[in-house]
Amino acid sequence: MVCKVRFEGILFGLLAGISLGAAAFFALGYALVGLIPNARAVVVIGNVVLYPLMIFSGAMVPLEVMPDTVRTISRFLPLTHLVALLRGLWLGQGWGDFLTEVAVLAGLAIVGTLIVARTFRWE
């Protein structure tokens, strides 16, 4: 089986989008580690958060086939914004079309970094 997938975007723009998403979700992950004192609890809570994010964000199943209720809820999930940004950049749309997504991801990165700065401890 051969899948023909065409990349229509600008590689540098796509890599920048991936970097923004990585920064946002690394900050979120490190913030969880800083806020939760037990390593086992971090893994459990991380998985409880991760799988619904993937399912309801359009990362695993396209939002177009989801019910309206799920699509409404997905607007409040940060991974939905990353999926929309990367999908658009892959298809050749510009960053200007995704200012909301960029703002959400940048905000997540900033808030997560601030939490990490306040809760980080050497142990």
Predicted TM-score (pTM) of the model is 0.88
Q: Is residue 2 part of a domain?
A: no
Domain annotation covers residue 21: yes
12-52 pLDDT per residue, tens: 999 999 999 999 999 998 898 888 888 888 889 888 988 88
- DSSP for 23-47, written as a single string: HHHHHHHHHHHHH---HHHHHHHHH
Residue 90 lies in a domain: yes
Is 4 among the domain residues? no
Judge whether 1 lies within some domain.
Answer: no
Poorest-confidence range of 28-32, 36-40, 58-62, 110-114?
36-40
Distance CA 86, CA 65 (A): 19
Host domain of residue 110? 11-119
- Distance in angstroms (rounded) separating the CA atoms of residues 29 and 61: 23
Q: How many domains, in total, are found in the chain?
A: 1
